[in-house]
Amino acid sequence: MPVPSLALLARWIVPVEPENVVLEDHALVVQGDSIVELLPQRQLDSRHPGIQREELGNCVLIPGLVNCHTHSAMALMRGLADDLPLIRWLEDHIWPTEQRWVGPEFVRAGTELAVAEMLAGGTTCFNDNYFFPDVTAATASRAGMRAVIGLPVISLPTAWAETEDEYFARGLQVHQDLVSDPLMTTAFAPHAPYTVSDSAFARMVELAEEMDVPIHLHLLEAKGEIEGSRERYGKHPLDRLAALGVLGPRLLAVHMTQLEPVDMDRVARAGVHVLHCPASNLKLASGICPVAELDRRGVNIAIGTDGAASNNTLDMFAEMRLAALLAKGFSGDPEAIPAARALSMATLNGARALGLEDSIGSLRAGKQADVVAVKLDRMETLPVHHVVSQLVYACSRHQVHKVWIAGQNVYQAGSCVRLDQAAVASRAREWARRLRHDHPVESQP
Closest distance of CB 275 from Zn ion, Å:
9
Looking at beta carbons only, is 79 or 414 nearer to Zn ion?
Answer: 79
Site string for Zn ion, 254-293 (x = CB under 5 A): ----------------------------------------
Taking every pair of C-alpha atoms in the chain, what is the biggest distance, in angstroms?
A: 70
Between the CA atoms of 309, 311, 317 and 321, what dihedral angle is there, to the nearest 10 degrees?
A: -170
Cβ 385 to Zn ion shortest distance, Å: 36
Stretch that binds Zn ion, among 59-67, 302-310, 340-348, 397-405 (CB under 5 A): 302-310
CB of 318 to Zn ion, least distance (A): 17
225/306 with CB nearer Zn ion: 306
State phi, psi for 143 to the nearest 5 degrees.
-85, -5
213 or 217: CB nearest Zn ion: 217
Which DSSP string corresponds to 110-124? Answer: HHHHHHHHHHHTTEE
CB 279 within 8 A of CB 301: no
Least distance (Å) from Zn ion to the CB of residue 69? 6
Q: How many Å apart are CA 309 and CA 106, to the nearest integer?
A: 14
- Asked if 112 interacts with Zn ion (CB under 5 A), we say no
Compare residues 51 and 217 and give the one whose CB is closer to Zn ion: 217
| Contacts within 8 Å (CB) and 24+ apart, 326-329 | 326/278, 326/282, 326/288, 326/291, 327/291, 327/292, 327/295, 328/292
Roughly how many angstroms between the first and final C-alpha of the chain, as a whole number?
59
Give the bridge partners for 273, in sequence order: 252
Nearer to Zn ion, 51 or 204 (CB): 204
Q: Is 244 exposed, middle or buried, given 0-12, 13-18 or 19+ CB atoms closer than 10 A?
A: middle
Show contacts with Zn ion in window 326-385 (CB under 5 A): none
Region from 73-81, 304-312, 327-335, 423-431 binding Zn ion, contact rule CB under 5 A: 304-312
**Pairing label, strands 400-405, 371-375:** antiparallel
Among the candidate windows 100-108, 204-212, 306-314, 430-438, which touches Zn ion by CB under 5 A? 306-314
Q: Which stretch binds Zn ion (CB under 5 A): 34-42, 109-117, 303-311, 435-443?
A: 303-311
| Cβ-based nearer residue to Zn ion, 83 or 210 | 83
Contacting Zn ion (CB under 5 A), which of 37, 164, 295, 306? 306
User: In the complex with Zn ion, which residue's Cβ is closer, 284 or 391?
Assistant: 284
Nearest residue to 11 (alpha-carbon basis) of 360, 413, 340, 377: 377
Residue 301 CB, shortest distance to Zn ion, in Å, is: 16
| CB 218, min distance to Zn ion, A | 5
Q: In this structure, are residues 63 and 348 in contact, taking their beta carbons and an 8 Å threshold? A: yes
CB of 71 to Zn ion, least distance (A): 6
Nearest distance in Å: CB 255, Zn ion: 8
Give a three-class secondary structure readout of 406-437: CCEEEEECCEECCCCHHHHHHHHHHHHHHHHH
Query: Nearest residue to Zn ion, using CB?
Result: 306
Nearer to Zn ion, 134 or 306 (CB): 306
Q: Please work out the total of residues on this chain that contact Zn ion, with binding judged by CB under 5 A.
A: 1
Residue nearer to Zn ion on the CB measure, 254 or 264: 254
- Least distance (Å) between residue 289 CB and Zn ion: 13
Q: Strand 273-276: give its sheet, edge to edge.
A: 65-70, 123-128, 146-153, 184-190, 215-219, 251-255, 273-276, 301-303
Which residues form the interface with Zn ion (CB under 5 A)? 306
